[in-house]
Amino acid sequence: MDWRVFGLTFGMLFLAEMGDKTQLAVFTLAARTQAPWSVFLGGSAALVLVTLLGSFLGGIITKYVPVKYINIAAGLLFLGFGIVILYQTLVG
């Protein structure tokens, strides 16, 4: 176990997820259902599965595609999402 990578990953994800749509969805579900433990366990299981898929797929993909190209693709994808959201906000 590389504790430096663990700490870096924890810190980055904790800050990135703070106040994002996932946290707001969990907040809303817990308030609506009055079942915070069920929401916590369901949300935790979903995040664990998504993280598991991402980490293992990321490890497999980097065997075939250089990290430089993955970074470029991720940047373009985020840029595309931003443009779509901005367009929907301004037009719709």
What's the CA gap between 84 and 4, in Å, rounded? 36
For residue 19, tell me if it sits in a domain: yes
The total number of structural domains in the chain stands at: 1
For residue 38, tell me if it sits in a domain: yes
Inter-residue contact 30 to 39 (CB < 8 Å): yes
pLDDT digits (tens, 9 = 90+) for 56-78: 998 999 999 999 999 999 999 99
pTM above 0.95, yes or no: no
pLDDT digits (tens, 9 = 90+) for 27-51: 999 999 999 999 999 999 999 999 9
Q: For residue 3, give its domain range.
A: 1-43
What SS3 state is found at 15? helix
Quick one: pLDDT at residue 22?
Answer: 87
For residue 71, tell me if it sits in a domain: no
